[in-house]
Amino acid sequence: MSSCHTLFLPQTAIFCNALKADNFQTGSGNHCVKVKDKGDMATTSRILFLSLFISSISIFFIEQVNGIKCKCDPCPHDAVNETCEATSKCFTAIRVTYENGFEEHYWTYGCFSDQEKDKAGNSVLQCKGHLVPHALPKTIECCDEEDYCNEEIEPDLQDKSTASPEVHPTASLSDITQLALIVSVSTCLIIFIITVTCLYIRYKRNLSQRLLLKDDIGQSESFICNGESLKSYIDHSSGSGSGIPFLVQRTIARQINLIKSIGKGRYGEVWKGKWREENVAVKIFFTTEEGSWFRETELYQTVLLRHDNILGFIASDIKGTGSWTQLFLITDYHENGSLYDYLSTHILDVDDTLKMVHTISCGLTHLHTEIFGTKGKPAMAHRDIKSKNILVKRDGSCCIADLGLAVRYISENNEVDVPPITRQGTKRYMAPEVLDETLLTHHFDAYRKADIYAFGLVMWEICRRCVANEGVVEDQQVPYYDCVQTDPSFDEMRKVVCIEKMRPEIPNRWLNDQYLKAMIKVMTECWSQNPAARLTSLRVKKTLNKMYQLSQKNEKLELNC
């Protein structure tokens, strides 16, 4: 490299050629100084001073071109005395390692070249490496102030917390163990506190419920006198026929002892129970059937519903033990059980047969009839008449049970209180219009006609067990037992009843008895395919009543029904 410096002095002279003659050159190039002089040789000392200045500048440029010297460790193969020449910067680096659980520091010294500079002359990547966290703790610091400047540098290590826990497995295992222990103990403590709190809250809630129940029973027991029977409470009620007062119902429900299970149905289980040595029937609904329990309770408590041929309602209540709930419906207990069970073990004479069918028609008529007045009764339809929903009393009469599917007719606004589902009840006893889905759901009389159809099938079941003059009796069977399977599907029943229009077979022997022959006429008119052609419950009741009265007098039957 060559350069020429022009200096303007008070005495000007051209000195460049003289310098060249004396070979005043540096290793980096030739330097010429032009001095303007007026010819006075007294300026020689100044020229010498200028020469020294120029030499210093030349040395500075040479150092800038050739770089600075740095300490190196490890060093390149051509290094001498642990010295390297840097064209950029010197550096000192520290790296930390862990061996056998002990911390070791490794120092590194060296030089950076021009290729590692950025546009500003800085070694960007290397000298700024300490700003980035590393898995192994390390740092670096650079300098370029003077030769061997990196000997005096002591870089600050980054925080050891940035190091990966995998670097020192011994310390990591200890930390993880301590952390796991703290988390486990804390979790167990929290769970313990929550459990104790929940148990305490539950205990307090149960205690308050027991105290409240005790208060309720204590208050309601003031309405019950020792020695009083259920019949006396019913007889001494308001006279509305809606049953025992509510507070007394709750007390009775809580004082009942369940004896044994006597049957199961679609909505729950029926138990025999005792209250003050009196037998009662307790229908326990499944908790999923709360709607059915509420519906049946509501209907049984209807004003003036109480009737000799409707199952007597005593009480209803919800009994809870904390972990589960029971829905109680308490009614009269009839030891003979259902008509279905009774017919399977008993043979009837004509009087027994007429008494049964007549009392069933009386109960059905009471349901179907609306009673007007200040405390009247709405007309109802049962919707599930069958031999299993009819109970046999001790005197051989019958009463209708299970009002869970019953509908009410509200005459004030001409509405039918019924869910929008038309397929209800037992498929075997469904009327043709229910099976083919032509039932007029908004007309109450359509539901009464469907009840009459089912009643005709029940009459057929009863007559099969009647012994007439010939002394022959059929075994107990359900309707269409010879046409469909035990649990028929909806489509099977529709095919038999609606398409093929089949009805239960009438034995020939019935034609030889005047009463059975008369009942054939009644039942066939009850199960007519056309709902409009079926008899009303009142007409059936009057016809059967007349037949029953004549049978009691042993008179000849002459009926045009």
The answer to whether residues 22 and 137 belong to one domain is no
Q: Where are the beta strands (DSSP E) in 112-253?
A: 138-143
The answer to whether residues 353 and 498 belong to one domain is yes
Rounded Cα distance, 19 and 24, in Å: 5
How many CB atoms sit inside 10 A of residue 465's CB? 22
How many CB atoms sit inside 10 A of residue 292's CB? 20
Is 206 part of any domain? no
Is 187 part of any domain? no
The answer to whether residues 462 and 543 belong to one domain is yes
Is 197 part of any domain? no
Residue positions forming the annotated binding site for ATP = 283
- The CATH number assigned to the domain holding 306 equals 3.30.200.20
Rounded Cα distance, 519 and 354, in Å: 9
Q: Tell me the catalytic residues.
A: 384
Residue positions forming the annotated binding site = 283
Residue-by-residue pLDDT tens, the chain, 561 positions: 444 444 444 433 333 444 344 444 334 444 444 444 444 444 555 555 555 555 555 554 444 445 788 989 888 887 788 888 877 788 898 888 877 777 888 888 888 876 655 554 555 567 777 677 777 788 888 888 888 888 888 887 755 444 444 444 444 556 788 888 899 999 999 999 999 999 999 888 877 766 665 555 454 444 445 555 555 555 555 444 555 655 566 667 778 888 999 988 777 899 999 887 889 999 998 888 888 888 888 888 877 888 999 999 888 888 776 667 888 899 999 999 999 999 999 999 999 999 999 999 999 999 999 998 877 899 999 999 999 999 999 999 999 999 888 999 998 898 998 865 554 689 999 999 999 999 998 999 999 999 999 999 999 999 999 998 778 899 999 999 999 999 899 999 999 999 999 999 999 999 999 999 999 999 999 999 999 999 999 999 999 999 999 988 877 666 554
C-beta separation of 449 from 515 below 8 A: no
In the listed set 285, 311, 332, which residue is the last one of a domain according to the structure?
332
The answer to whether residues 88 and 156 belong to one domain is yes
The answer to whether residues 318 and 441 belong to one domain is no
Is 219 part of any domain? no
Rounded Cα distance, 332 and 47, in Å: 142
Q: With H, G, I as helix, E, B as strand and everything else as coil, classify residue 158.
A: coil
The answer to whether residues 350 and 483 belong to one domain is yes
Torsion of CA 19, 25, 26, 28, to 10 degrees: 120
Q: How many domains does the chain have?
A: 4
Is 560 part of any domain? no
In the listed set 120, 152, 167, which residue is the last one of a domain according to the structure?
167
Q: Which domain, by its residues, includes 28?
A: 3-66
C-beta separation of 32 from 57 below 8 A: no
Is 140 part of any domain? yes
The most distant pair of C-alpha atoms in the chain lies apart, rounded to whole Å, by 181
Rounded Cα distance, 152 and 71, in Å: 10
Q: Which residues of 125-142 are buried (b: 16+ CB within 10 A; e: fewer)?
A: ebbebbeeebeebbbbbb
The answer to whether residues 362 and 509 belong to one domain is yes
* Residue 326 structure tokens: 């029971």
Is 179 part of any domain? no
The answer to whether residues 42 and 132 belong to one domain is no
The answer to whether residues 453 and 540 belong to one domain is yes
Is 186 part of any domain? no
Query: How far apart are the two ends of the chain, measured CA to CA in Å?
Result: 143
- The CATH number assigned to the domain holding 375 equals 1.10.510.10
Nearest to 395 by CA among 468, 458, 342, 345: 342
DSSP-derived secondary structure for 441-452: TT-HHHHHHHHH
The answer to whether residues 313 and 461 belong to one domain is no
Contacts of residue 301, Cβ cutoff 8 Å, sequence gap at least 6: 242, 243, 313
The answer to whether residues 396 and 292 belong to one domain is no
